[in-house]
Structure 1
Amino acid sequence: MKTSSGITGYEMFVIQMLFSGAAAGFIYPSFLIRSTSGSYWIPIAVWVAGALLSSWLYSRMLARLEDNKLIAAIRSALGSVWTSIFCLPVLLFLFGTLVVMLRAYSEIVTMTMLPTTPISFLNGMLLAPAALALAGMMPIVRAARVFFLLAFICTLALLILGFSDIDWTLGTPWLRTNGDFLLNKHFYAGSFVWMGFTFTSLIGSYRMQSARRAWRSYVVALLCALPLIAGYVYLPVMTFGRDLSQRLTFPFISKMDSIYHYWIVFESMTAIFVSVTMLYVLITMALQLHALGEMIKTLMPRAHNGLIYVIIFIFVYTAATLLSSWREVEHIVLVTIAIRLYIMFAFPLLGLAVLVFARNQRGKGNGL
C-alpha cells in the first residue's frame, strides 16, 4: 500500500539509508571524534534520541495535512508573506546543505583520485541530481531503489575489510563519559546526519496513516544505519588511535587508504569507497534539490518549474566553487548549527501549532 506521496514504506527506507550513507561518511566522523574524550557511542545514542524526537514531531505535523503538502498547507494558513518568513531558515538550510555536500564530495575526489582536476569541473556533477530533481520524485525513488542494493553491499564489504587490521583497545573507553560533548560545538555540528526525515517531509502530500507509515520506515532505517555510522567513527580510531584520528580531515577515508592485503584484487579501497559513495550523494542531492524546488514553487506559484531548478543549480554551483578552502566548508557547518536545530525541533512544533490553529479557525467558521 502506498503513501499519499506515492512512496512505499520500503522506498522511504531506501531513501533514508542512502541519506545516512551520504551524510555520515565524510565530515561527520571528524566532528564526532573531536567532540568528546569519552565513549563515542554515547553521543551517537543521544543524537539517535534527538532524531527520533524530531521525526516524531514532523510525523505529528504531517498527520494533520489531510492529503496536502506541508508548505502548501502552511501557506493557506499564514499567507504568502508570513510563510516565506517562516520558511526562510529552511530555504537557507537546504541551500547550505547542497553547497556543503557538493563541495565535500568534490574535495574528496580531488584528494583521493583526481588531484589535478579543477574543483569547478568536479562540481559539475550537480547536473545529474538536478536533472533527477527536475524529473520529479518518482524518478528519484526509482534511481534510489537501483542504487541502494549495490551501494549498501559494497559499503558493507568495505566495513568488514576495515575490521581486519584494528586494535580494539584503541577504541576505549567503552563505557565512560563525562558529558563533555554536550558543551562541544562539534557535537552539534554533526546534527545534519540525523535530519533525513526533514527532507522527505517537505516533499509529497501526507495524511495521518501515511505520516505514521513514513515515520516507522524512518525509524527502521535509522536503526539499520547505526552500525554503518558507528563503523565510520570507530574504525579509524581503532586503527590510528584517538589523537591522530582527531587531526585527520577525513578519518574514514584515511582508514580505507590504510587497508592492504595481498589477496585483494583492487589496488585502492579508497577509490572504491569514494565511487560507491557517489551513488549515495547523487540521490541525496537530488532529494534536496527537489525539496528546495518544491518549496520555491509553492511560495512562488507563477514561477516556471524549469527556471527554478536552473537558478538553484547556478547558485549552488557558484557558491560551492567560490569556497576557497576546506576550512570554509567546515566553518559553514559550524555557523549553521542554530538553523539546523531550529529545523529539527522548533520548525515542526511551530508548524504543528499553525496547522492546529488553522483547523480550529475553520471549525469555528463552519460552526457559524
Structure 2
Amino acid sequence: MKNPSAFTGYEMLAIQMLFSGAAAGFIYPSFLIRSTEGAYWIPIAVWTAGALLSSWLYSRMLARLEGRKLVSAIRSSVGLVWTSVLFLPVILFLIGALIVMLRAYSEIITMTMLPTTPISFLNGMLLSSAALALAGIMPIIRAARVFFLMASLFTLALLIIGFSDVNWTLGTPWFRTNGDFLLDNRFYAGSFLWMGFAITSLIGPYTMQSARGAWRSYALALICALPMIAGYVYLPVLTFGRDLSQRLTFPFVTKMDTIYHYWIIFDNLTAIFVSVTMLYVLLIMALKLHALGDTVKTLMPKAKNGFIYLGLFIVVYAAATFLPSWRELEHVIILTVGIRLYIMFIFPLLGMAALIVAQRRGGKGRES
C-alpha cells in the first residue's frame, strides 16, 4: 500500500523554496539588518538551526499520524474543546501571516510601480489566492511546480546581476559578533521566514515514512534557499553601507532600483523583481488560506467550504486594508513574536504529547 502524503519530495522542495521567496525579499532584510552590528550570516545561521529543530519536532509529530491529517488526529485524541484551544494560536498566526504578506506586497507595488493606486484595490489580489485555495491542494501543487521553475530562474538572474556593482568592504565585519541580535526583538520578528514546514504540516495526511521524507525535502530546500536569503540581506549592505541600509524600508527593492548597466535589456529591474515575486506571493497566500480553511473545516465540520473561505477572505482583506500605516504593520509583527515561537516549538511538543497519550490509551484499551 502506498503511503499517503501531502506532497512528494520535489513538491515539498518547490513549495518551501517559493515560501522563502515570498517571505525573504520584503520585510526580513530590514529586520535583520537593524538587529545586529556584527556579521549578518551569524543570525541567519542561528535561525537556520532553529528552523531545522522546529521542522524536526514537527516531523516527529507527523510520524504519529498513521495516515491521518494533523487536526483530525489531535481532535480524535483530546476532543474538540482542547483541540480548539491548541489550534487557536495557529489560526491567529495564519490570519496574521496572510495580512502581513498581502499588505507588504501591496505596499511595495504602491512604492515602486503604481503610486496612485489605492491599497484597497491592490489588496484585491487576495481573491485569486482564495479561489485557488478553495479549489483544493492539487491545483496549488500543480501551480507550485510551474511557478518554482519560472521564479527561481528569474530570482537567480536578479541576484547575480545585483552582485555586479557592490563594494565588498561595506560588508564588514564578516566574522565578528557579540550576540547583540539575541537581545533585539527584530531578530525574533523575522521568525516568519523560517516557518514553512509548520504550514505544510497542516495540509494532507502523513505517515512515518512520508513525514521523514518531508523533513528531508524541507532541509534541502532550506539549504538551497540560504544563498537567496543571504543575497537579499547582503546586497543592500554591500551597495549602501550599514547605516543607510538600516534606514531603508525595503533595502533589497531599493538596491534593485539602483542597478544600471548598458548591456541590460530591461531598464526597470525593480518592476521585474516585483512581478516575479507575485508568483511567490499569490501561491503562498493560497497555501496559507488552504491550511487555514482546512483547519477551520475540521473544527467546524458542518460549515460549508464556500462560506469558510469567504469569511477568511473578508477578514484578511479588511484587516490588510484598514491598517493605518506600514510602521503599524511592523509593530504588529514584533508584538506577535510570541505566537510564532509557540507555533515553531511549543505546538509540536503539545501535539506530540496529545498523540502519544491517545496511542497509549488505545493500546491499553486493546489489551484489556
Paired residues for 1:250-289 under 5 Å: 250-289=250-289
Q: Equivalent residue for 2:32?
A: 32
Q: Equivalent residue for 1:94?
A: 94
Aligned-residue offset at 1:177: 0.3
Is the deviation greater in 64-73 or in 258-267?
Answer: 258-267
Structure 2 CA distance, aligned partners of 1:144 and 1:121?
25
Amino acid at match of 1:117: T
Aligned-residue offset at 1:293: 0.1
Amino acid at match of 2:107: E
Q: Is the 8 A contact 1:17 1:222 kept in 2?
A: yes
Mapped pair 1:343 → 2:343: yes
Structure 2 CA distance, aligned partners of 1:70 and 1:147?
27
Identity, in percent, stands at: 75
**Structure 1 stretches (4+) deviating beyond 2 angstroms?**
none
Q: Is the 8 A contact 1:2 1:9 kept in 2?
A: no
Gaps spanning 5+ residues in structure 1: where?
A: none
Amino acid at match of 1:352: M
Q: Equivalent residue for 1:149?
A: 149
Q: Equivalent residue for 1:301?
A: 301
Aligned-residue offset at 1:3: 5.7
Amino acid at match of 2:251: P
Structure 2 CA distance, aligned partners of 1:83 and 1:66?
18
Mapped pair 1:138 → 2:138: yes
> Alpha-carbon deviations, 1:212-246, whole Å to 9, x = none?
00000000000000000000000000000000000
Mapped pair 1:329 → 2:329: yes
Q: Equivalent residue for 1:58?
A: 58
Q: Is the 8 A contact 2:3 2:67 kept in 1?
A: no
Q: Is the 8 A contact 2:63 2:206 kept in 1?
A: yes
Paired residues for 1:198-209 under 5 Å: 198-209=198-209
Paired residues for 1:1-368 under 5 Å: 4-368=4-368
- Aligned pair count reads 368
> Alpha-carbon deviations, 1:185-224, whole Å to 9, x = none?
0100000000000010000000100000000000000000
Q: Is the 8 A contact 2:140 2:286 kept in 1?
A: yes
Gaps spanning 5+ residues in structure 2: where?
A: none
Q: Is the 8 A contact 2:130 2:313 kept in 1?
A: yes
> Alpha-carbon deviations, 1:68-120, whole Å to 9, x = none?
00010111111111111111000000000000000000000000000000000
RMSD (Å) for aligned C-alpha atoms:
0.9
Aligned-residue offset at 1:331: 0.9
Q: Is the 8 A contact 2:5 2:207 kept in 1?
A: no
Structure 1 CA distance, aligned partners of 2:287 and 2:107?
21
Amino acid at match of 2:38: G
Amino acid at match of 1:75: R
Q: TM-score, normalised on structure 2? A: 0.99
> Alpha-carbon deviations, 1:309-338, whole Å to 9, x = none?
011001100010000110111011100000
SS of the residue aligned with 2:116? coil
Aligned-residue offset at 1:5: 2.9
Residues 314, 76 of structure 1: alpha-carbon distance in 2 compared, 3 angstrom cutoff? same
SS of the residue aligned with 1:354? helix
SS of the residue aligned with 1:79? helix
Structure 1 CA distance, aligned partners of 2:328 and 2:79?
37
